[in-house]
Amino acid sequence: MSKPILRGKTWYLKRRVPKRYAVVEPRSEIWESLKTDSYSVAMQKSAGVWNAYIEGWEARLAGRNGDAAERFRAAQQLAAMRGFQFLSVDKLETAPLEEILERVESAQRADGTPDEVVASAVLGTVEEPRLLLSGLIEHVETLAEHDNRYKNKEQMRLWRSPRQRAVNNLISAIGGDIAVASVGSAEARKHKKWWQARIAKEGQSADTANKDFNYMSGMLSRFYDDLDHEDPPRPYAGVSIKDRHAQPSQKREVPVAWITDKWFAPGALDGLNDEARDILLISVETGCRQNEIYNLPASAIRLDDPIPHLLIAHEASEDPDERREVKNLSSHREIPLVGVALAAAKRHPEGFPRYRNGSSYSAAVNKYMRKHELLPQGVTIGGTRHSWESRMKRAGYQTDDRGELMGHSLKGRRGRETYGDGMSLSDRLQVAQEVMLTVPDHLK
C-alpha cells in the first residue's frame, strides 16, 4: 500500500490507476485528500478510500460488460456509493425535483462531462433483469444451494414440487408467463381470487392455497435479495385465505390395543417385506417419522454402543444419494432402541436400502394395513408417532420431556428460549423403557 503524501498540512492518497480500469477511469493517477493533518489517521483512512475506488471501478465494469443481473447489481451499488437508492426511471418521475437534480449532478465528472455508466445507475435507466416466472424455480434453486446442501434426490424433488405448483398456479391465475419483476400486488390478488374460486367450486383447501402464497413470497424474496434490492416489493404481504367452514385437522393415533392385539398377532405382518415390517416396528417404539427411519445410514444405527440408539441428524456427502436432511434443528436427537424397535434394528444394522431416499414406503404399507383391516377408519401408520407420545403422556411425562424425545421445538412449546443441557441418552432410555410394549416371541 502506498504511503500518504503530505501537501501543505493535509495528507493525500496518491495511487496509479490499474490498467484493468482504464476503460472506466480516464485518469492515470488518483490524488485524493484524506482530510486530516495526522499521519496515523491518514494511514488508517487511505485503505478504505482506495477500496472504495476499487469497488466503484468494479461496479462500472459490471455496468458496462456484465449480464443483466450483474448490470443491475452494479447500478444499485453505484447509486448507493453516491448516497442514493436505486430507483427505476418510472419511479424517479415522481421523486422531488431537488433529488433528481442532485442525481444528475452526481453523474458528472470533474470536467463537467457526464459519466454514462453512473448516470444510468442514479437515473434508473438500467433495466431490472428479465427472468420469466417459468424460470424462477431453477433460479431460486441455485440461490438456495446452501440451504439445501443436505437434501438427497428425493428431498430435492419434494422441495421443488410445491414451488413449481405455486408458480404454475400463478401463471394460470394471471393468464400467462410474465417477468418475475412484473409480479405485483395485482397479480397476487388474481392468484388469491383464482384460489377462492377453486375452493368454492372444487372444495379445495384454504391451507393449500396459503402454502402457494407462502412459497411465492419466499421465492420472490430470494429473487430480490440476490439483486441486493434495498426496498424489495412484497406483493404477497397480507395475502391469505381464511375459510370459516374448514374443519380443524389432527392426525389420529393408532390405539395401543390395535398394535398389541392386531399388529403383534402372529402372522399379521407376514405379507410385508422384511424392511417394511421392521420400519413399522421401529416407529412403534421410537415415535420417529417414517422417513427418519428409512433414510437412516448404517452409521446412524448405533447397536454396539452401551445404549443402543438411533442418531437422527443431517448427513453431508458429495453423493446426493448419501445425503440426509432432517426436518429441522429440533429434530436432531438420539432415540434409544427398546422392545420391538431394538429387535427390528438388529435385523437391519445396515439400514433400509429398499426404501432409502424413496417415497414408496408409506403408500405401500398403508395399502397393506387397510387391506388386512389392521388400521382403524381414518388412521394411517403415521399415527404410531402420536400413540407413542400419548403413552408418555399417560405415564406422567411433561410436555418438555415428550417434546425432546419427539423432536419438537421446545421454544415453540414454551413460548420462550430454552437453556441448559437436554435429556441425556440414559434419561431417554428410562422413558422409553417405561412406555415399552411387551415384545411377542415371534418378533424378538
Name 233's Cβ contacts closer than 8 Å, sequence gap at least 6: 183, 184, 220, 224
Q: What does the pLDDT read at residue 436?
A: 95
Residue whose C-alpha cell is 457526464 = 114
For residue 391, count other CB atoms closer than 10 A to its CB: 22
pLDDT digits (tens, 9 = 90+) for 340-349: 999 999 999 9
**DSSP class of residue 250?**
-
Contact, 300 vs 313, CB < 8 A?
Answer: yes
Contact, 436 vs 282, CB < 8 A?
Answer: no
Q: What does the pLDDT read at residue 84?
A: 87
Q: What does the pLDDT read at residue 408?
A: 74
| Distance between CA atoms of residues 334 and 300, nearest Å | 9
Q: Which residues of the chain have pLDDT under 70?
A: 1, 59-60, 62-70, 129, 409-421
Q: What does the pLDDT read at residue 64?
A: 59
Domain boundaries defined on the chain: 5-122, 133-226, 256-443
For the residues of 329-383, what is the DSSP string, one character each?
Answer: GGG-EEEE--HHHHHHHHH-TT--TTTTT-S-HHHHHHHHHHHTT-S-TT--TTH
Q: What does the pLDDT read at residue 66?
A: 54
| Distance between CA atoms of residues 417 and 437, nearest Å | 34
CATH of region 256-443: 1.10.443.10
What residue type is assigned to position 115 of the chain?
Answer: D
Q: Which three cell numbers stand for residue 195?
A: 384460489
Contact, 295 vs 322, CB < 8 A?
Answer: no
